[in-house]
Structure 1
């Protein structure tokens, strides 16, 4: 077996564990940024500033990034959220901070939209070839890489995303039974929208195109908002998930999977993704989890990440596997798109 070893810590290559009958897949931001490097938080922040993405990150917001010495949007959102919490506790005005929070959220979403990889450049067939073996596919990414790869290269009669109920392509929580391979957008996505009643719909033509700004409306009862989660920490993410019937359905489905789970491009950061950690850890029907370890990390960083993941996911009857990310076909050089 080809692996890196520190004491009892083993990091394998994908070839060593690929025959473990993985039936569930979770994709994180590392999956998208490997394919299209402009998705990295550093590139997103720079792109937003350089191109004055609306709503603009005004000087006071840029100062938060600078003072935190971090270009991670989620860290900034978390900092503002805590400020709002403290201000509320002290009975002080929070309107200004709520506006800052909303600006960062909307800017992040609009920037992801602006830097999105082109449909024609995406190696959809290579991605679909790997995705098609899973019964359930979950993603926390907003982008359309998974959606385009699945609906652009797989037989649509073999896959389902639960937007089939009526002419409006709306999600119906009473109609979710299917024997097809299932796709879930745990934190929303660019091609999904919701109305003021919380009804979530899929934009029909987006299987090979980005949505247009005209698809979303901010007009009274006819308001149609993009569905995405850009909350600053796991607690706030879970609160938003529970407030929406589609997102809560996806999260419940993730919490109820059985067999094995392959995690690619996701570090399961406790601050941002504890709701996912808890779903994995407390699901007794889940017997094995395989986690990709970012190959560009130093050996010490890899060792620490493995130890952290072992501690966070420890359960007596849960077996953990770790493998080098660049050895898996979904996250190696073969699927990268050159900018």
Structure 2
């Protein structure tokens, strides 16, 4: 069995050098339901709209809505007004289904996780750059803490109509959303960030989807090749991916399994200038370690990399349940 070290020991081994972090869905698993949004959309198996996802070989809500709207235009041109109107109703129903899925996978408001945010802020403070594969809102909620200092490149943008943006490459940025996010929306070739209204960010996102008829920018495809195709099609996502490939120094991975459906991520990592990879594993077993080690070894060999990797017990990081400074002081005093 490969050696497992604690998170604190990994930080010590990394030294005082700037460390980078990649977050997978294990980071969000305690608060975000990582069934796919399509699974949570409450579309019945015999619903033609659900079948259209399979027919188009996609999990992209926006693509299916555009297909429905395009088909409606064709039907209208052929004089089939009733059928055309039915297709538009289905498109609007699908927008509502996406909103239902977003609500069903998240806490309702940031306040529901407010007590654990300081713990997460303390965890993230060890890293100079944070890359995330997650498109949920948890990291965004954490970044709103004054102590987080998690700049995302939107700070030089303008606030208008509930959005902050656009993202600017020259702006100070510490957080990179490799697979987009539910709070990010395309604006032509640019990307803007949706900001919370009076009733919170989820309601703001819902309004943008259903009323403004805009869709979040997120990558939910099932294969690495399909994900890369989506990334290359967007300037913001491409920039984030390029930044991952330019990583240097010690690099930590937390909440990810190194599955082949994210091979593009490890290809970039092992071709970068990182000096050591610290891979966090949840409840490690011989079988799990052997499997992950095999995947990492394959990525490393394909990239021609000499970077070594060390396994870390992810639970020892205490992302969401770190003792407060007061609790730590009291423990030392005892």
Post-superposition offset of 1:332? 6.5
Determine the C-alpha separation between the residues in 2 that align with 1:136 and 1:106: 35
Q: Which sits farther off after the overlay, 108-117 or 245-254?
A: 108-117
Residue in 2 that maps onto 1:91: none
In the superposition, relative to structure 1, how do residues 124 and 299 fare at CA in structure 2: closer, same or farther (>3 Å)?
A: same
Give the superposition deviation at 1:134.
1.4
Structure 1 segment 281-292 matched on structure 2, within 5 A: 281-283=270-272, 285-292=273-280
Alpha-carbon distance in 2 for matches of 1:106, 1:279: 36
1:253 CA drift (Å): 0.9
* 8 A contact 1:25–1:263 mirrored in 2: yes
Asked whether the 8 Å contact 1:78–1:231 carries over to 2, the reply is no
Q: CA deviation at 1:153?
A: 4.4
1:51-74 Cα shifts (integer Å, max 9, x gaps): xx35x142379x99xxxxxxxxxx
Per the alignment, residue 75 of structure 2 pairs with none
1:230 aligns with 2:223: no
- Please list every run of 5 or more consecutive structure 2 residues that lacks an aligned counterpart in the other structure: 59-70, 72-86, 88-92, 325-334
Secondary structure of 1:121's counterpart equals helix
| Larger Rg computed on CA atoms | 2
Which of 104, 111, 135 is matched with 1:142 structurally?
135
Which residue number corresponds to residue 207 of structure 2?
214
Q: Mark the runs of 5 or more structure 1 residues left unpaired by the alignment.
A: 1-5, 65-75, 82-94
Cα gap change, 1:290 to 1:204, in 2 (>3 Å): same
Query: What is the alpha-carbon distance in structure 2 between the residues aligned to residue 307 and residue 190 of structure 1?
Result: 33
Which one of 188, 194, 205 corresponds to residue 203 of structure 1?
194
Aligned CA distance change for structure 1 residues 185 and 239 (closer, same or farther; 3 Å): same
- The CA distance in 2 between the partners of 1:274 and 1:329, in whole Å, is 27
CA contact 2:195–2:201 (8 Å) conserved in 1? no
Query: 1:263, 1:292 within 8 Å by CA — same for their partners in 2?
Result: yes
Distance in 2 (CA, whole Å) between partners of 1:302 and 1:105 is 41
2:323 paired with 1:330? no
* Matching of residues 21-60 of structure 1 within 5 Å: 21=15, 23-33=19-29, 35-36=30-31, 39-41=33-35, 48=40, 53=41, 56-59=43-46
Cα distance in structure 2, aligned partners of 1:78 and 1:249: 31
Change (3 A) 1:57 1:325: farther
Contact 2:167 2:192 in 1 (8 A): no
Deviations 1:275-297 (A, max 9, x none): 101101111x21111111121x5
- What pairs with 1:136-175 in structure 2 (closer than 5 Å)? 136-154=129-147, 158-163=149-154, 164-168=156-160, 169-173=164-168, 175=169
TM-score (norm 1): 0.70
Task: State TM-score, norm by structure 2.
Answer: 0.71
Aligned residues: 279
